[in-house]
Amino acid sequence: MSDIYVLGSMNMDMTVVSPRFPKLGETINGHSFSTAHGGKGANQAVAAARLGANVSMCACIGKDANGKELKESLEYEGINTDYVFESDSSTGAAVITLVDGDNTIIVAKGANADVTCRQAELFLDKAKPGDILLVQLETDFKTVEYALKLAKSKKMITVLNPAPADPECSALCEFCDYIIPNETELKTITGNDDIEFSIRKIKDNYSCIPVATLGSQGCAFYRNESVVFLPCEKVKAVDTTGAGDTFCGAFCVALSNDEPIENCLKFALKCATLSVTKTGAQPSIPFLKDIK
């Protein structure tokens, strides 16, 4: 099994459950409020660790109680936190509104924006050919780009989850082996809302393999000159927060075991589907025993 290196964000998630999304300028009463450990990078690292991988994390947290709590939670999951650095900025936060299983999210990067190229270099110093680097876009864009280039030079397998969506992230495709956007992110990258067209466009212009996550419709990917759609099991979604992160972490775990891409995606779909049946980002991430 290859080692998995995750460079990304660590956030404290604050979730309000609401009967509906408020209109502009409107105040409404929610049902409940909760906090949970999150951040796309941390979520993906936790998913990979719970599914049996050897995981290391590179991130920045603030010198505050939230940062300490988030770092300790990763250590509890068995994740190597030697490269989780402290910053003078406050720890990142996400404000989530949850309505009937769907959500809207506002992220304040905070310390996540302070991850540097030098820190990424230290993080990947002992990485071996065949190890996996998984990144997202909640940290500094230039640091993500540097980490991907460095990982490619070390013959690592590189996986980009281009979230939040950024029109400039197409520039990162040439340094990726796999890119995993959702429908919104796919449209941002290609400028087209046709899934099959967009997947072909990425494949035609870059050497990476595009995989589009499609929520309750499963996912789509490029294989043998065709765009293949894989469905997922139908469940009652309680909270979709973190489902895409679970998918990415699970995909990398299967990839680290040298599974064919279709097997990797089927495994990732099972994990993501199970995650939406529970609330919270990290609390909903399944363990390998749950999948089995």
Which architecture characterizes domain 4-21+32-291 according to CATH?
A: 3-Layer(aba) Sandwich (3.40)
CA distance 89 to 28: 31
Token pair belonging to 65: 């109680």
pLDDT class for 292, splitting at 50, 70, 90?
A: confident
Mean pLDDT along residues 67-83: 97
Per residue in 127-149, pLDDT (tens digit) is 999 999 999 999 999 999 999 99
pLDDT class for 151, splitting at 50, 70, 90?
A: very high
- Strands 11-17 and 157-160 come out as unpaired
Across 52-56, 205-209, 284-288, the highest mean pLDDT is recorded for: 52-56
- The question of whether 140 is a catalytic residue gets the answer no
pLDDT on residue 236:
87
pLDDT on residue 214:
95
Among residues 245, 3, 259, 284, the alpha carbon closest in space to that of 123 is found at 3
pLDDT class for 248, splitting at 50, 70, 90?
A: very high
| Residue at token pair 């030098």 | 118
Q: Is the pLDDT of residue 167 over 80?
A: yes
Q: Give the Cβ contact number of residue 82 at 10 Å.
A: 10
Question: For residue 23, what are the contacts with CB-CB under 8 A and spacing of at least 6?
Answer: none
Q: Is the pLDDT of residue 179 over 80?
A: yes
Please state the domain extents for the chain.
Answer: 4-21+32-291
Question: For residue 216, what are the contacts with CB-CB under 8 A and spacing of at least 6?
Answer: 232, 234, 237
pTM confidence score: 0.92
Alpha-carbon distances, residue 131 vs 75, 128, 152, 252, 292 (angstroms): 21, 6, 10, 10, 25
Catalytic residue among 13, 114, 140, 245: 245
CA distance 115 to 81: 14
Token pair belonging to 18: 């609401």
Contact 115, 32 (CB under 8 A): no
Among residues 203, 242, 291, the alpha carbon closest in space to that of 212 is found at 203
Per residue in 108-118, pLDDT (tens digit) is 999 999 999 99
Contact 257, 217 (CB under 8 A): no
